Amino acid sequence: MLIAVLLPLGLFLFPLWKITLEAPQYPTPLGMYIHINDFTDANPHDIKNINIMNHYVGMKYIPEAIPEFKIFPIGIIITTVIGLIIAFKGNYKWFLFWFILMMVLSAAGLYDFYLWEHDYGHDLDPKAIMKFTNPDGSIMGFQPPLFGSKDILNFTAHSYPQLGSLFLGLGIAGSFVAHLIGKKNHKKALRM
């Protein structure tokens, strides 16, 4: 359980997610890493160049900082502290509690990410230089995929989790395993 609790701290070392944009004019694709507390360039100046591309269709600049960059790290620290207390004091039932807590928070985080992406891709400047419509006449959005790959005009966008997410996922899974092992041991102890 201790290991499971500490694994999500890897989020402070490794990026959570990566969005990559490929196009013929970019033999080296543009890319952006999403960290728990930051956006960073995959290659120097990538975010600046993504912004320049996106302003043609009226997308907002990728912000220097978003509120989540403050909330998420605090959330991870709080859940880690809770997890540590559970690891030392709690039993397997509490392990399950932490597992569920983390699942809910992660899902909330993903939903938040989706909302941001949706807003980023759809809240377009009405004076956008180029306006595109879908076949049904509605205004085309430029939301990158939450997970997977998607063609957006001349770009192919890829969105995949990174090492940080793996640490988080392993931590969450680890807590569930800890719960199962704890439960098994508990039953064994009961039988004896």
Partner 1 sequence: MKNILKSMVALLSILVAFTSCNNTSNQNAGALSGSAAEKVYVNPGEHDEFYAFISGGFSGQLSVYGLPSGRLFKVIPVFSQDAEKAYGYNEETKPMLNTSHGFVPWDDSHHPDISQTNGVIDGRWVFINGNNTPRIAKIDLSTFETTEIIEVPNSAGNHSSSFVTENTEYVVAGTRFSVPIPQKDMPIKDYKGNFKGALSFISVDPEHGHMDIKFQLIMPGFDYDLSHPGRGKSHGWFFFSTYNTEEASTLMEVNASQNDKDFIAAVNWKKIEEYVNNGGGTMMAANYAHNVYDESTHTATSTMKKEVLTVNPLDVPGAVYLMPTPKSPHGCDVDPTGEYIVGSGKLSANLTVHSFTKMLAAIENESFAGDAYGIPIIDFEASLAGVVEQPGLGPLHTEFDGKGNAYTTFFISSEVVKWKLGTWEVVDRQPCYYSVGHLMIPGGNSQKPFGKYVVAMNKITKDRYLPTGPEVTQSAQLYDISGDKMELLLDFPTVGEPHYAAGCPADLIKPRSKKLFKLEENNHPYATKNEADTKVVREGKDVHVYMTTIRSHFSPDNIEGIKVGDKVYFHITNLEQDYDVPHGVSMIGANTSELLIMPGQTETFVWEPKQVGVWPFYCTDFCSALHQEMQGYVRVSAANSSTPLRWSLGEDIE
Residues that bind partner 1 (CB under 8 A): 28, 44-45, 48-49, 52, 56, 129-130
Q: Which is nearer to partner 1, 44 or 67 (CB)?
A: 44
Burial of 165 (0-12, 13-18, 19+ CB in 10 A): buried
Q: Are 4 and 171 in contact (CB under 8 A)?
A: yes
* Cα torsion through 136, 142, 146, 149, rounded to 10: 90
* Cα torsion through 170, 176, 177, 178, rounded to 10: 110
Q: Are 164 and 16 in contact (CB under 8 A)?
A: yes
Min separation Cβ 54 and partner 1, Å: 11
Min separation Cβ 44 and partner 1, Å: 7
Q: Which is nearer to partner 1, 24 or 137 (CB)?
A: 24
Q: Which is nearer to partner 1, 53 or 173 (CB)?
A: 53
Q: In what order do the strands lie in the sheet with 148-152?
A: 39-41, 26-34, 17-23, 155-161, 148-152
Min separation Cβ 45 and partner 1, Å: 4
Q: Which is nearer to partner 1, 56 or 147 (CB)?
A: 56
Q: Which is nearer to partner 1, 48 or 187 (CB)?
A: 48
Min separation Cβ 153 and partner 1, Å: 11
Which runs of consecutive H residues, i.e. helices, occur in the chain?
Answer: 2-6, 46-55, 68-89, 92-122, 163-191
Min separation Cβ 19 and partner 1, Å: 17
